[in-house]
Amino acid sequence: MTVAEFAAAKVNLTLHVTGQRADGYHLLDSLVCFAGVGDRVSVDSAAALDLQVSGPESAGLTAGPDNLVLRAAASLGSAQGAAIRLDKHLPLASGIGGGSADAAAALRALSRLWQVPLPDAAAVLRLGADVPVCLAGRTCRMQGVGEVLTPAPALPPVWAVLANPRVEVPTPQVFRALDRRDHPPMPPLPDWPDAAALARWLATQRNDLQPAAIRVAPAIAAVLGDLAALPGALLARMSGSGATCFALFATPEAAHTGAARLQAARPGWWVAAARLGDAATVAA
């Protein structure tokens, strides 16, 4: 029996840093959605637990015990084995939750294969701050250190071009570069009748990590500039702690045309066009 799950890229449409706990963890307030581009995780019954990694973005990713997929498998507490296959299409450490999405997909797949419940919320959070939202797979407001998830209004039809310049942006370094850690949170979330209304509202919000990430990796500014210059782009912003950025579009045609133009101009970058929304809705 093979069980397969899509690990959709996570996109932080906003990311407000609202405080810092005594243990050093930062408090966030973020509008999170998912893109119709991602990795794929499949699992089969086997005598022992084994992970094999392949795909166009698998270089540099090991299948050792520190791999988040294997850590997710261990969190289920089952003595059963499984052959796990990770088909990697998202760039590593890129601000779109690739590892977290893989862990969440592995949890869903193995829970079905082994017929065991998902781990409790605390165990899921220990895997990483983005794992709970990736496991939920819904557009939501993510607060706290990632554990407080509130359903958000459904996104209107909206597409994005995602772009990553393949530069390393260590998340701890970005947080250390913050000018302040007590920014105001988001206001109550409205309903957005269309992509243009969503973009206008997002323009009044922020990714508080973006200026710090640009100081760490100036190439991010070039990505944002190139995305904003694409015909039909409604808004350009960085996701997570970078270096992946996105531009929003009102139609799939505009997004795919923009992605093709950007890829031709920047052949060394990772570029993808995809619809945004709940993971199940946008799954490729």
Same domain, 174 and 278: yes
pTM of the complete model: 0.96
Hey, which residues does 161 pair with through a beta bridge?
A: 247, 273
Start-to-end C-alpha separation, the chain: 22
Same domain, 144 and 7: yes
Same domain, 14 and 143: yes
Same domain, 130 and 176: no
Q: Which residues are catalytic?
A: 10, 130
- The pLDDT-based confidence of 284 (bands split at 50, 70, 90) is low
Same domain, 163 and 189: yes
Question: Is residue 120 over pLDDT 90?
Answer: yes
Same domain, 184 and 224: yes
Summarize pLDDT for 57-76 with one digit per residue, the tens: 999 899 988 899 999 999 99
Q: Total domain count for the chain? A: 2
Q: Which of 112-116, 141-145, 167-171 has the lowest mean pLDDT?
A: 167-171
**Domain range for 271:** 153-282
Question: Is residue 168 over pLDDT 90?
Answer: no
- Reading the block at residue 218, the tokens are 């100036």
Same domain, 216 and 121: no
Q: What does the pLDDT average to over 215-232?
A: 98
pLDDT at 1: 84
Same domain, 37 and 101: yes
Query: Which among 148, 178, 207 is the end of a domain?
Result: 148
pLDDT at 54: 97
Same domain, 201 and 128: no
CA distance 280 to 267: 30
Query: Which among 128, 148, 168 is the end of a domain?
Result: 148
**Angle of helix 252-265 versus helix 219-228 axis, rounded to 10:** 140
Query: Which among 148, 181, 215 is the end of a domain?
Result: 148
Question: Is residue 102 over pLDDT 80?
Answer: yes
Same domain, 108 and 17: yes
Same domain, 41 and 109: yes
Query: Domain of 128: which CATH number?
Result: 3.30.230.10
Share of the chain above pLDDT 70, in %: 100
pLDDT at 234: 98
CA distance 8 to 279: 6
Query: Domain of 158: which CATH number?
Result: 3.30.70.890
Same domain, 186 and 251: yes
pLDDT at 93: 84
From the number of C-beta atoms within 10 Å of its C-beta (0-12, 13-18, 19+), residue 66 rates as: exposed
Q: Which of 60-64, 185-189, 268-272 has the lowest mean pLDDT?
A: 60-64
CB atoms within 10 A of CB 187: 9
Question: Is residue 47 over pLDDT 80?
Answer: yes
